[in-house]
């Protein structure tokens, strides 16, 4: 079954990832992985760091001549900005007066700074913020891009995009296919489906930046052609919608997750929410609507998976809020680190990536994931079995 771990600090030498469970025989498109990494660095509202980093992945294990071996895949992404932080963030040199500069003692409200320092006993909160930084998500995007390539080989497609920035909502274009959504959001630097709203949102982000403030938003992910029956109703921890919700909430700054109509369903009648069942000889089982976002009883039901994530505004404000110095206990303004006005655009790619990872994990947990051709045959046979049910 697919699993992964990441390591590395925001201004450390590199990010490292180990991905296990990818079948042997998958030809990896490294350029596509790097395109995903580049997209994560884009989007209107990003800060100056993205002008320094030009993320590309290096595969150092689990791949030979571009084809996966079935063994763990080792990945690295260099942090180019480490050149400016070499002494301060050197992993092995002893601490001295010269290399302990830029200490952080004024935690930022809404960030991991204070609680992380309390939990691990750090007196320099840089030890917390360097790892809790969203810089880590670059590796999750690289891993997610690999999983997307695996899913594509099984006929499963997905895309994540922006549905809301601040108070400006954009039509989700629920009737569009994944391919059409992907084409639509590529037309602007906000990953939204309506180009007519780009100027207004640009103005909002620019005004927010001038005010020293930040913005959040809502992300929508759509996955299609996912076979029914992934996950299980038999135990709470085997419900796939719960696993997906946990993965999405594990992305920096996410404060809410919806499946399908989500919280809106709470204000509706059952007759308005339940998706009536249909069947025909050519396509087998389906639903007349998709209010439940492709899930029933914790299992996929064959309809498109719809997941929405609410992202809070970034906690680093250039007009910082009140904090308390952990050394002196004096009330002061919070520390300011280089940051973005909004990271909702790259976050949509990160959320897309973690959804891809969880779907690939569910597939390889259900079928033999040792060899790609065997996996493809098993999934195809399973689809035929379900259609004939």
Let me know the angle formed at the C-alpha of 212 by 210 and 215, rounded to the nearest 5 degrees: 95
Phi and psi at 194, nearest 5°, equal -120, 105
16 forms bridges with which residues in the sheet? 7, 76
Q: Which residues fall in the annotated binding site?
A: 40, 46, 131-133, 252-253, 297, 312-316, 338
Where does 170-315 have alpha helices with state H? 178-185, 198-210, 240-249, 270-273
DSSP 8-state secondary structure symbol assigned to residue 88: T
The Cα–Cα gap between 25 and 377 comes to 14
Q: Is the dihedral of CA 83, 85, 89, 93 positive or negative?
A: positive
Q: Which residues fall in the annotated binding site for FMN?
A: 131-133, 252-253, 297, 312-316, 338
The Cα–Cα gap between 180 and 130 comes to 38
Q: Is the dihedral of CA 338, 94, 5, 12 positive or negative?
A: positive
Q: How many separate helices (H) and strands (E) can be counted in the chain?
A: 11, 17
Q: Which residues fall in the annotated binding site for NADP(+)?
A: 40, 46
């Amino acid at each position: 079954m697919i699993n992964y771990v990441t390591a590395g600090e925001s201004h450390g030498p590199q990010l490292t990832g180990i991905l296990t469970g990818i079948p042997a025989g998958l030809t990896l498109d490294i350029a596509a992985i790097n395109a995903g990494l580049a997209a994560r660095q884009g989007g209107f509202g990003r800060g100056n760091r993205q002008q320094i980093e030009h993320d590309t992945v290096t595969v150092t294990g689990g791949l030979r001549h571009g084809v996966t071996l079935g063994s763990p895949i080792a990945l690295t992404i260099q942090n180019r900005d480490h050149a400016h932080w070499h002494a301060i963030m050197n992993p092995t040199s002893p601490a001295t007066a010269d290399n302990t500069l830029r200490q952080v003692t004024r935690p930022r409200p809404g960030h991991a700074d204070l609680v992380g320092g309390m939990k691990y006993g750090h007196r320099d909160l840089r030890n917390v913020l360097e790892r809790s930084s969203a810089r880590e998500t670059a590796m999750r995007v690289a891993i997610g891009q690999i999983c997307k390539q695996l899913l594509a080989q099984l006929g499963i497609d997905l895309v994540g995009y922006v549905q809301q920035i601040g108070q400006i909502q954009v039509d989700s274009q629920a009737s569009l296919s994944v391919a059409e959504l992907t084409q639509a959001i590529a037309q602007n630097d906000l990953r939204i489906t309506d180009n007519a709203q780009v100027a207004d949102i640009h103005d909002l982000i620019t005004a927010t930046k001038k005010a020293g403030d930040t913005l959040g938003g809502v992300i929508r992910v759509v996955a299609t052609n996912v076979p029914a029956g992934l996950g299980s109703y038999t135990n709470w921890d085997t419900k796939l919608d719960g696993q997906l919700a946990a993965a999405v909430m594990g992305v920096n700054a996410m404060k809410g997750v919806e499946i399908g109509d989500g919280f809106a369903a709470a204000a509706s009648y059952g007759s308005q929410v339940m998706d009536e069942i249909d069947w025909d000889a050519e396509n087998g089982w389906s639903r007349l609507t998709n209010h439940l976002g492709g899930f029933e009883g914790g299992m996929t039901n064959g309809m498109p998976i719809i997941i929405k994530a609410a992202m809070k505004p970034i906690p680093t404000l250039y007009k910082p809020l009140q904090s308390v110095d952990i050394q002196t206990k004096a009330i002061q303004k919070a520390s300011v680190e280089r940051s973005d006005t909004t990271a909702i655009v790259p976050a949509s790619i990160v959320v897309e990536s973690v959804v891809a990872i969880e779907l690939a994990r569910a597939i390889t947990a259900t079928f033999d994931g040792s060899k790609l051709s065997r996996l493809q045959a098993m999934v195809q046979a399973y689809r035929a079995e379900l259609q004939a049910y």
